Structure 1
C-alpha cells in the first residue's frame, strides 16, 4: 500500500521500490480492495524479496517490522513504521491501516520534495 501511494502521489518524482524480508506469494486481496476504494490499483504488484542492492540504491528505507532481517547501511535514512499487519485481516480492518499509511506517505513526500500537495 505504501508503494502504491508513493507512486500515485509522487507523480513520478520519486523512484519507488517495494520488497519484504519474507514476502508472500501475492499481494493481500484486502489491501488491493482497500486501495481500489481510493482510486489506486495495486493488483498488478508482485511481492519481491528485499535485497541488499535495493537498500544500497535507496535514499530512504521504510521498514514495517522486519527487525534484524533488514540490511542496514550507514548514510541511509531509515523510517520504521510500526503499523498493524494487514495479513489475514478483512478490508474493514485494512482501511484504517491504509489511511495511516497515506498520511505518512504524504508527510514523506513533503519532506523529500519540499512541496505541499
Structure 2
C-alpha cells in the first residue's frame, strides 16, 4: 500500500489491517474508484479517528467503515452509482445521542428501502450509554455505532439533512432539503428523561418516512 496518505503513526498490525481493508474496498468498488482514491479515503478516514480516544485495535475497522460510507456517497454525488433509494443524514453535535437514535429508528423502520447516515460537528468518544439502553428497550441495538464527523461528499449525497442542535456548525449546501428537529440533548440525563426524547425521535422518523414515500417495515 502506498504511504502517501499515512499521517498518523501506524503499528505493524494496523498497517496489515489497513492493507486488508484497502483490498476489500478495492473489490467492492471495482470499476468505480481506483486504488489511489480508495487509499486516500481510507487513510484520511483513519486520521479522523486516530486523534480521539478510541481503542487503537479498532481504528482500522472504524476507518474502513467510514471510508466505505464516504466512497458510497462520492459515487452517488458523481453519478457513478444510483439505486434510487432516498438518503437521509442525521446530524447533531457529538453524534452520540439524538442522531444515533434517529439513525437506529430510521434503519429499523425503513429496512433496505432507504439509506441513512449520521454525523456530528464535534464527535464524541462513544455513543451515549443511556441512548443505547433506551433504544434497547425498543429492540434496536445501536451499541455497535460510533461517533463520526461528516464530510462534504456525505452531505452532498444526502437527499434530506436533519439537524439536531448543531446550529451554525451544521453544513449548508444550497438547494438541499433541510429539517431542523428541536430536541432536548440526552447527554448527562438518566433513562427516564431520555425515553420521551427517544419516542419523539421515532415519531419524527415515521413522519419523515411518510414524506419520502417509504413504507415502514413491520415491527
Which TM-score tier does this pair reach, normalised by the shorter chain? over 0.9
Name the counterpart of 1:64: 164
Structure showing greater relative contact order (alpha-carbon pairs closer than 8 Å, 6 or more residues apart) = 1
Name the counterpart of 1:94: 194
The CA RMSD over aligned residues, in Å, is 1.2
- Which of 68, 88, 108 aligns to 1:8? It is 108
* 1:74 and 2:174 correspond: yes
Q: If you compute each CA radius of gyration, which structure gives the higher value, 1 or 2?
A: 2
Name the counterpart of 1:21: 121
Preserved contact between residue 123 and residue 148 of structure 2 (Cα < 8 Å): yes
Greater than 6 Å deviation, 4+ residue runs: none
Does the C-alpha gap of structure 1 residues 8 and 114 become closer, same or farther in structure 2, counting only changes over 3 Å? closer
Distance (Å, rounded) in 2 between the aligned partners of 1:99 and 1:109: 15
Distance (Å, rounded) in 2 between the aligned partners of 1:4 and 1:114: 16
Gaps of 5+ in 1: none
Distance (Å, rounded) in 2 between the aligned partners of 1:9 and 1:97: 18
Alignment of 1:36-47 (within 5 A): 36-47=136-147
The TM-score with structure 1 as length reference comes to 0.95
Structure with greater helix percent: 2
Gaps of 5+ in 2: 1-100
Aligned-pair CA distance for 1:115: 3.9
* 1:103 and 2:173 correspond: no
